């Protein structure tokens, strides 16, 4: 089966005839031909999206939720078709594509059903000084959100922005990666079918089309991709003071404490490192293992990894490397590690083929080597022995990135998790945070900023609107030229009474039970 042509009414008009092909990374076959949208096309798409935003934002939360849940139904019923498009364009196994679609559907459901609760107008305390005011806050849509997506999770990742931006009342113009344009078109086409209007539209093309989106008049850009391109996106958006959310790469580490379930930890590390052929922003790239269990862990993961292979057979658990130029990056990281005293217990020098990379487990790799410091984005992992958990935390945090992380420990999971500088941590599981719709997803440092998913992900695509409404005349006319010296004296007395001691804490929320004690 080849993918459909992109001449659907959900795609944007094109002024030139220029096209590009999307190719199967498994065998190089052309699986689709798509328009290269020019800067003019992109601007026209954003202009049109502003009209759609006016209609969409005028709907009630319930009305929008109904439309989004209709779309969810269409996606769910055609999940196998979507997975096939994903498989063709990225090469990922069909089962992995299904899992990815499942997670995206769950997020769409959550965003649609929770936007009302998170964003609707609510009362907030107005304080003693302003007791005569009724204070409310609500979160209003920004207008048009431009989403620039990656190829590695071409449904799950952009949907983290698309679903939440739409649920918050925005229209979306989506620029999928040049490696996965068919997936982007599929999403826009099914949305149009479900809702009947192109509130979600798609522009396709190469990097220039994405760059054009930054200059096209969107009210926010949500970007996922490399840190380097993220910086370019931010610089372009700065020209228009367009806000951005940046989901960039990571160098995620796993800490394995001496009391961890070793078999489960090995299974999780292997999957976290090699699933999706290692092309996961929150994939496992480094492991720090307590010396008491290091040998047992290494023996277990080697045993498990030896059964894993990447090839072009239909039931291969690992697909190809989607972006051909990534093969050189992966090869250079393995070569550098081996040249600097590292040893490959599985895979190694010959692991990188023309399209596929075999799982590679590296030990004794210096901490300043490429494989430990830079994002490899392949099915490789480095494992290091540590004397204490404290050393593991220090080495985990010795990176400019800070996206995800993992801890395996029976007694100290939460305590260790809290000490890791990363946006998300999984305890006794791996990448589990991504599947919990109510948890915000995002990083710190070179991993970017802003959040998708959860309440924060909804608010990311809104602005806060505060209203203070006077209920009765103030006791003291503080914001009036009728204010007198006597009023000022009364104010000082009141402030001294309220804040002079400076020590009274307001009642805070209940701390989480057992915080910092047990996993
Ligand atoms: P990029 O950061 O180059 O691309 C990500 C997205 O940005 C794509 O849609 C791309 O379009 C678009 N884009 C490219 N140039 C511009 C620009 N100047 N302005 C606006 N948008 C632009 O990532 P790559 O796909 O080249 O991958 C490179 C590396 O990035 C990988 O090796 C990996 O380390 C990391 N990466 C991390 C991801 C993550 O999830 N954190 C996801 C993908 C990559 P187009 O594809 O058409 O060029």
Q: How far is the CA of 126 from the centre of ligand 1 (A)?
A: 45
The superfamily CATH assigns to domain 2-247 is Aldehyde Dehydrogenase; Chain A, domain 1 (3.40.605.10)
Q: Which pairs from 503-511 meet CB under 8 Å and 24+ separation?
A: none
143 lines ligand 1 (CB under 6 A): no
Q: Active-site residue among 247, 374, 375, 415?
A: 247
Name the residue ranges covered by the structural domains of the chain.
Answer: 2-247, 252-436
177 CB near ligand 1 (under 6 Å): yes
Whether residue 367 contacts residue 265, with contact meaning beta carbons closer than 8 Å, is answered with no
**Residue 232 Cβ contacting ligand 1 at under 6 Å:** yes
Cβ-Cβ contacts under 8 Å for 273 (sequence gap 6 or more): 283, 284, 285, 359, 379, 380, 381
C-beta of 38 in contact with ligand 1 (< 6 A): no
Q: How many CA atoms lie within 13 A of 273 on its CB side?
A: 29
Question: Relative to the CA of 280, which ligand 1 atom is closest?
Answer: 40
Q: Give yes or no for a contact between 319 and 26, defined as CB atoms under 8 angstroms apart.
A: yes
Residues 494-500: contacts with CB under 8 Å, at least 24 apart:
494/128, 494/129, 498/128
252-436, superfamily in CATH?
Aldehyde Dehydrogenase; Chain A, domain 2 (3.40.309.10)
pLDDT confidence of residue 144? 98
Reduced to 3 states (helix: H, G, I; strand: E, B; else coil), residue 256 is strand
pLDDT for residue 8:
44
Pick the residue whose CA is nearest to atom 14 on ligand 1.
Answer: 207
DSSP H/E element including 336: helix 326-339
Chunked in runs of 10, what are the mean pLDDT values of the chain (519 residues)?
43 83 95 97 98 98 98 98 97 96 98 98 95 97 98 98 98 98 98 98 97 98 96 98 97 98 98 97 98 98 96 93 96 98 97 97 98 97 98 98 98 98 98 97 98 98 98 93 96 92 67 50
- What is the pTM assigned to this prediction? 0.93
Active site residue 247: yes
């Amino acid at each position: 089966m080849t993918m459909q042509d992109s001449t659907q009414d959900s795609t944007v008009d094109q002024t030139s005839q220029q096209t590009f092909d999307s190719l199967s990374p498994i065998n190089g076959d052309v699986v689709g031909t798509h328009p290269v949208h020019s800067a003019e096309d992109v601007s026209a798409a954003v202009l049109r999206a502003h009209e759609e935003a006016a209609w969409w934002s005028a709907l009630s939360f319930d009305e929008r939720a109904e439309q989004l849940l209709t779309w969810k139904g269409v996606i769910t019923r055609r999940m196998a078709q979507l997975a096939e498009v994903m498989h063709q364009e990225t090469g990922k196994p069909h089962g992995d594509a299904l899992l990815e679609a499942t997670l995206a559907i769950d997020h769409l459901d959550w965003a649609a059903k929770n936007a009302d609760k998170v964003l609707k107008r609510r009362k907030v305390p107005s304080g003693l000084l302003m007791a005569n005011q009724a204070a409310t806050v609500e979160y209003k849509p920004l207008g048009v959100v431009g989403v620039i997506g990656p190829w590695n999770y071409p449904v799950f990742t952009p949907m983290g922005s698309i679903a939440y931006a739409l649920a918050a009342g925005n229209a979306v113009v989506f620029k999928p990666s040049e490696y996965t344009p068919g997936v982007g078109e599929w999403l826009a086409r099914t949305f149009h079918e479900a809702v009947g209007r192109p509130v979600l539209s798609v522009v396709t093309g190469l990097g220039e089309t994405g760059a054009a989106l930054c200059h096209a008049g969107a009210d926010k850009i949500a970007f996922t991709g490399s840190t380097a391109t993220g910086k370019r996106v931010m610089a372009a958006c700065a020209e228009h003071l367009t806000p951005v959310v940046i989901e960039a790469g990571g160098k995620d580490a796993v800490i394995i404490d001496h009391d961890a379930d070793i078999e489960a930890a090995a299974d999780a590390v292997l999957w976290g490192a090699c699933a999706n052929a290692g092309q996961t922003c929150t994939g496992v790239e480094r492991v720090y293992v307590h010396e008491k269990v290091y040998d047992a862990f290494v023996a277990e993961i080697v045993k498990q990894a030896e059964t894993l292979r990447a090839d072009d057979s239909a039931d291969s658990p690992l697909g190809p490397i989607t972006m051909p130029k990534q093969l050189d990056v992966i090869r250079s990281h393995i070569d550098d590690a081996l040249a600097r005293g590292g040893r490959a217990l599985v895979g190694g020098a010959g692991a990188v083929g023309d399209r596929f990379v075999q799982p590679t487990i590296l030990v004794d790799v210096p901490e300043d080597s490429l494989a430990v410091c830079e994002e490899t984005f392949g099915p490789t992992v480095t494992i290091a022995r540590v004397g204490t958990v404290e050393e593991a935390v220090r080495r985990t945090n010795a990176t400019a990135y800070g996206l995800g992380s993992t801890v395996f420990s029976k007694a100290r999971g939460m305590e260790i998790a809290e000490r890791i500088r990363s946006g998300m941590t999984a305890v006794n599981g791996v990448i589990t945070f991504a599947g919990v719709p109510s948890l915000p997803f995002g990083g710190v440092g070179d991993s970017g900023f802003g959040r998708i998913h959860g309440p924060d992900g909804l608010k990311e695509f809104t602005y806060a609107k505060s209203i203070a409404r006077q209920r009765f005349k103030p006791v003291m006319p503080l914001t009036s030229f009728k204010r007198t010296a006597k009023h000022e004296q009364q104010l000082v007395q009141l402030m001294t009474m309220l804040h002079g001691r400076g020590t009274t804490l307001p009642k805070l929320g209940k701390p989480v039970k057992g915080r910092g004690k047990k996993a």
